[in-house]
Amino acid sequence: MKKQSPQNKSPRGAEIAKGVSPGAAPPRGKPRTTAIEDASTTQQLNHRMLQLQALYRVAVAMTSTMKPGEIMRLVLDEVMRWTVADGTVLYIMDTATNRLVPRLWRGTTPPLRSHGLADTHELVVEVALSGEIRQCAGREGFPARSAPSQCRLTIPLVAGDEVLGVIDIFAHRREPFDVDTREFLSTLASLAAQVLRNAVTHEELEQHYREISLLYEIQQEMASTLDYNSVLELIVHRTKQIMGAHECTIRLLEERNGRLYIRVVASSGPDFIGPEEVPFEESHVDHPVIGGEMIYMEDVRTDPNFRWQAEARRAGVVSMICAPLVARRRTIGTIRLYTAERREFDLSERKILLAIAGMAAQAIENARLYRRIEEQNRQLLESYEALRRAQKELLRKERLAALGEMAATVAHEIRNPLTSVRGFAQRIQRRTESLGDPKVTEYTKIIMEEVDRLNKFIKDVLDFARHAKPTFELANLNDIVSEVLTMMRDEFDRKEISVIADLDPKLPPTVCDRMQMRQMLINLLQNARAAVARGGMITLRTQSTGKYIRVRIIDNGHGIPRDVLPKIWSPFFTTKTHGTGLGLALVQRIVDDHRGRIIVRSRQGCGTIINVQLPLVTSEEELLSWGG
């Protein structure tokens, strides 16, 4: 509320202001002049007491609240009370923009606006720069369109060596503010400056705590994964969110053919500004940043150093800041932020971005290292598996070679006696037939059958041990399948087995050994026939997949036990009461010689599916060099 001006006070009011009761007579026994002096002293003491009470109120407020706004409003109220001013304005120094900004005001004031420190003709700027109180009487120092005040007092808010703001006072009075008032207001301003300093310190501490908490949170998130792509995605999206940016991209250095390139590896949006990759020396933004400096562009749409202005306009971006990604004292790339509006990044924001960039670079390097270790582990595992397979194959070949040598020796030693045994059995059978002795005839027949079975066993062993080299030619597997099915028709009919031939009519020819393909199909179909009960079913299907020819044999037999399945390819392994156990071993070798694969899926009581996959090639050279 506006106070009454001193010059308009009534005589009664003047007496009250002087601390004298209205109409009171001077004390008896004293001269009138002495009484007046005593009254003046009392008035001064009362005045000082009121000043001290005002300062005490402000000091108490400083200790009772951490809200600087409440204290500064109290300070302005005290200024208005003690100066009987028309208006007063509190300007605060904005260190980010170096401008005096009006934050609080009371009463009637001139039009308010902020002032840059370059506006030295402005009284508030002059006081802020000098740190000294200035007073102007009459119209001096007033803006052209200011309120009709006649006296202006401008007081700096000084804490230490720093001016934190200015209090600007406007009063409609002829007399300037006296020394006592100026000293009181200066003391009040010092308290206000201390409030501002405490508030700034408190805000700086809070900001520092928020920054540390934020950086710790980001560091924890980055450390939560070592997956390279996940780390990149996390960095761009979290940095965009934290910095309040429109877009964030990461560009990394890559070397190819002795030349450096800068390449976009992650973006927070579906698109990014500029090409995905450019030679390092051609990037006007990344080149100096890789050198270690942070680059800021206020408006990339018009900055001549930004080459992709049209893309920036289409993407709706204005300002850009770019920081280096430094890991282990080596710059590996850059991180860019784009904003949708014109924006100046203050010092604290730039520090946060640099801190994020440092953590991001370390996280990227760790992810790269982990990826390299994973790749090396994978290669080592593949090498180990290849070595194990080679060792296993070597042992198998050594075992087969030894078997071949032994089989040849044994066959030679056994075949001659067997030939003799069979010959004598035939002679006995012919004689006994003329004598009419059926038992001797039956015995000789059994001898010859067992000798024949033993000879077949020896032949199978010798054939397997010799490992004849395939004779390749261009053939259609459908024709070979049809020949085998015709040849085995009687065997299937005896067990009343239904055989379904589902042959691809467009099956192209491929290079193979016809005789070995026949042998492979016969062995597989004989096994299926043995597994299927009377009245069962066998399906034989051919198919071209473009790169391979697939032969599939499906039966609804008793299936193969799980513990037996891994052993079925081993030579001489069999679950039958008769047979050599070489049939599937020979199939495996034929498929290997044709650079193919064979896969068996079986379930007991449900049947078996055998998939043979052979390369679709047109020449022997192509087959022998086949890599899958």
Q: Would 68-205 and 229-467 be classified into the same CATH topology?
A: yes
At residue 598, the pLDDT reads 94
CATH 3.10.129.10 fits 68-205, yes or no: no
With CA atoms as reference, report the closest residue to 418 among 444, 445, 451: 451
Confidence band, pLDDT 50/70/90 cuts, at residue 472: very high
Average pLDDT score, the chain: 81
- Give the pLDDT of residue 21: 37
Task: Give the range among 32-46, 207-221, 323-337, 428-442 with minimum mean pLDDT.
Answer: 32-46
Write out pLDDT tens, residues 153-205: 898 988 888 888 899 988 887 778 878 778 888 888 887 787 777 777 776 67
- Distance, first Cα to last Cα, the chain: 95
Residues 532, 596: Cα–Cα separation, whole Å? 26
Please determine, for residue 366, whether its predicted confidence score (pLDDT) is greater than 60: yes
Residue 360, amino acid: A
- 98 contacts: CB under 8 Å, gap ≥ 6: 116, 117
Q: Which pLDDT band holds residue 568 (cuts at 50, 70, 90)?
A: confident
- Contact in structure between 80 and 188 (CB atoms under 8 Å): no
Mean pLDDT on 387-395: 86
Give me the torsion for CA of 462, 464, 466, 467, rounded to 10°. Answer: 170
pLDDT of residue 3 exceeding 60, the answer is no
Neighbours of 583 (CB within 10 A): 22
Cβ atoms of 555 and 607 closer than 8 Å: yes
Secondary structure (3-state) at 612: strand
Question: Judging by beta carbons within 10 Å of its beta carbon (0-12, 13-18, 19+), is residue 368 exposed, middle or buried?
Answer: middle
- Nearest CA to 297 among 349, 348, 345? 345
Stretch 268-293: mean pLDDT: 78
Most confident segment among 71-80, 89-98, 213-222, 524-533: 524-533
3-state secondary structure of 602: strand
pLDDT category of residue 617 using cuts at 50, 70 and 90: very high
Q: Please check the confidence at residue 33 and state whether its pLDDT lies above 90.
A: no
Give whichever of 187-196, 326-335, 388-397, 426-435 has the largest mean pLDDT.
326-335
The CATH code that applies to domain 473-624 is 3.30.565.10
Q: According to the model, what pLDDT value does residue 507 have?
A: 94
What average pLDDT score do residues 428-444 get? 77
pLDDT of residue 140: 52
**pLDDT of amino acid 186:** 84
pLDDT of 609 > 80? The answer is yes
Q: CATH number for 229-467: choose from 3.10.180.10, 1.10.3370.10, 1.10.10.60, 3.30.450.40.
A: 3.30.450.40
Instruction: Tell which residue, 324, 356, 371, has the closest CA to residue 230.
Output: 371
Contact at 8 Å (CB) between 613 and 495?
A: no
User: Model confidence over 513-523: pLDDT tens digits?
Assistant: 999 999 999 99
Greater confidence (141 vs 281) lies with 281
**What pLDDT is recorded for position 46?**
65
* pLDDT tens by residue, 19-31: 333 344 445 555 5
pLDDT band at 577 (very low <50, low <70, confident <90, very high): low
Neighbours of 425 (CB within 10 A): 19
Point out the least confidently predicted range of 5-14, 84-93, 137-146, 604-613. 5-14
Element (H, E) at 44: helix 32-64
The yes-or-no verdict on residue 14 having pLDDT over 60 is no
What's the mean pLDDT in 284-292?
83
> Structure pTM?
0.48
Q: 396-405, 418-427, 494-503: which has the highest mean pLDDT?
A: 494-503
| Residues 424-450, mean pLDDT to the nearest whole number | 80
Ordered DSSP codes for 88-145: EEEEEEETTTTEEEEEEEEES-SPP--EETT-TTSHHHHHHHH---EEEETTTT--TT
pLDDT tier, 389 (very low <50, low <70, confident <90, very high otherwise)? confident
Tokens of 164: 């934190």
Domain ranges in the chain? 6-63, 68-205, 229-467, 473-624
Asked if residue 498 has pLDDT above 80, the reply is yes
Closest CA to 89 of 174, 170, 143, 150: 170
Q: pLDDT grade, residue 510 (50/70/90)? A: very high
Residue 340, φ and ψ in degrees, nearest 5:
-85, -5
Say yes or no to pLDDT of 428 above 60: yes
pLDDT value at residue 599:
93
